[in-house]
């Protein structure tokens, strides 16, 4: 086994085929660990990057057996972040479930190699949205002294287990039953994008309904950000070609009332973003309806899970649609005591400057 540190975008794109091969073999593969997601992010947000620090492990036969895609953000010389994170709030892509992409049979060997690799960087780590069983948490715990690690439960992940009885007996089924019956009586239809020629139409429906949902509460929506929009316009075409895109909308009387943007990944469907016409009458709760329609679709496709992703809101609407949740962690680790003091001092000064209107 050999560690290889990839520190330029050119090298990262060069190993994309090997990364994709690993992604097809790794048991913990999901969309946010895929080369499509991470390299599209790298291409879109490279202006934020001071230096890449992709920690990869290769077998003697040339196969990539692990990848941990980290980077140093400009203005942050003392710590590393997971790719897909660290953007300004107005263009944040909300990457989730960060971890090392690795084949199960190589976990022990890879763990030892990556712990030493992380130590050798001399930098801390900023991790967001990490599941409780992630190898990444173990690496951080073993690479840094406990006194230099801040670990918190930041959010909750909401999901539905579709195995065995599918949606039967779930909160979502009970809540959506009346809406679905009305949707059916009104001749409603669910449209799922499968043709590249119609991709632009589906994407426009999504963004239009997303703006309709949020424009009354905020001046701009996330799809109005040039970088966020560029990232997803590039990504959806790749995912459609791979057969993993789920871009859909529900239509009543020829009018789209709710949209769904997600991905098929592993044995689960991930809900990433959506939009609704909340003023549609009669009230069929378009948001609940589209979740039910897509969860039913996922169950029919033999998927084992429907993942709402995480939310930091205590009374999230996601909580009303499922009985299942689990904690998602955030972690900040510091390479040394003096780096911790410097980073916290800079963060304090930045906060004071913002309050004073200087930034």
Q: Kindly tell me if the per-residue pLDDT of 143 is higher than 80.
A: yes
Residue 55, phi then psi, degrees to nearest 5? -90, 110
- Candidates 61, 137, 69, 131; CA nearest to 96 is 131
Q: d(Cα 137, Cα 68) in Å, to the nearest integer?
A: 12
Look at residues 199, 291, 196, 201 and name the one whose alpha carbon lies nearest to residue 250.
291
pLDDT digits (tens, 9 = 90+) for 261-319: 999 988 899 999 999 987 787 778 899 999 999 999 999 999 999 999 998 766 678 88
Task: Please determine, for residue 220, whether its predicted confidence score (pLDDT) is greater than 80.
Answer: no
State the virtual CA torsion across 93, 242, 102, 30 in degrees, nearest 10: 50
Query: What percent of the chain is predicted at pLDDT more than 70?
Result: 94
Q: pLDDT (tens digit, 9 = 90+) per residue, 28-85?
A: 999 999 999 999 999 999 999 999 999 999 999 999 999 999 999 998 889 999 999 9
Distance, in Å, from the CA atom of 13 to the CA atom of 27, rounded to the nearest integer, reads: 23
Q: What is the four-CA torsion angle of 278, 280, 284, 285, rounded to 10 degrees?
A: 0
**Which residues, in sequence order, are bridge partners of residue 247?**
261
- Taking the alpha carbons of 213, 219, 225, 228 in that order, is the dihedral positive or negative? negative
pLDDT at 354: 60
Reported pTM: 0.92
Average pLDDT, the chain: 90
Residue with the two structure tokens 């020629």 = 197
Q: Compare 281 and 189 and report the one with higher pLDDT.
A: 189
Residue 118: per-residue pLDDT: 95
Q: In the predicted model, is pLDDT for residue 351 greater than 80?
A: no
Give the model's pLDDT for residue 102: 95
Q: Does the pLDDT value for residue 217 go beyond 80?
A: no
- The token duo for 165 is 């009885």
In angstroms, the first-to-last Cα distance of the chain is: 47
What is the pLDDT at residue 42? 97
Residue 287: the pLDDT is: 92
Q: Are 28 and 101 in contact (CB under 8 A)?
A: yes
Alpha-carbon distance of 229 to 155, in angstroms, equals 25
């Amino acid at each position: 086994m050999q560690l290889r540190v990839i520190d330029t975008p050119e090298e990262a794109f060069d190993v994309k085929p090997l990364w994709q091969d690993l992604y097809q073999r790794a048991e913990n593969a999901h969309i946010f660990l895929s080369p499509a997601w991470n390299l599209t992010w790298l291409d879109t947000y490279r202006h934020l990057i001071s230096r890449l620090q992709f920690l990869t492990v290769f077998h003697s036969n040339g196969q990539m057996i692990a990848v941990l895609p980290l980077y140093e953000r400009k203005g942050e010389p003392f710590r590393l972040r997971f790719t897909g994170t660290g953007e300004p709030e107005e263009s944040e892509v909300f990457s989730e479930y960060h971890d090392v992409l690795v084949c199960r049979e190589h976990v022990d060997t890879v763990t030892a190699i990556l712990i030493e690799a992380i130590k050798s960087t001399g930098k801390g780590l900023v991790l967001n949205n990490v599941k409780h069983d992630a190898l990444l948490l173990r690496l951080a715990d073993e690479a840094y002294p406990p006194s230099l690690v801040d670990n918190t439960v930041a959010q909750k992940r909401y999901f539905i287990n579709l195995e065995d009885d599918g949606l039967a007996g779930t909160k979502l089924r009970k809540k959506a039953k009346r809406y679905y019956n009305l949707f059916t009586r009104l001749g409603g239809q669910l449209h799922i994008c499968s043709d590249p020629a119609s991709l632009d139409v589906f994407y426009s429906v999504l963004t239009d309904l997303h703006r309709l949902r949020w424009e009354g509460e905020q001046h701009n929506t996330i799809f109005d950000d040039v970088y966020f929009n560029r990232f997803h316009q590039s990504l959806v075409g790749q995912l459609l070609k791979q057969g993993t895109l789920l871009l859909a909308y529900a239509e009543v009387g020829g009018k789209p009332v709710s949209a769904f943007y997600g991905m098929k990944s592993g044995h689960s469907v991930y809900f990433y973003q959506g939009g609704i016409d909340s003023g549609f009458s009669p009230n069929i709760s378009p948001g609940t309806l589209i979740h039910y329609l897509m969860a039913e679709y996922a169950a029919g496709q033999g998927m084992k899970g429907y993942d709402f992703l995480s939310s930091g809101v205590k009374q999230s609407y996601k909580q009303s649609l499922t009985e299942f949740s689990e904690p998602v962690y955030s972690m900040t680790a510091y390479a040394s005591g003096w780096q911790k003091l410097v980073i916290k001092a800079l963060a304090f000064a930045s906060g004071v400057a913002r309050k004073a209107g200087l930034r």
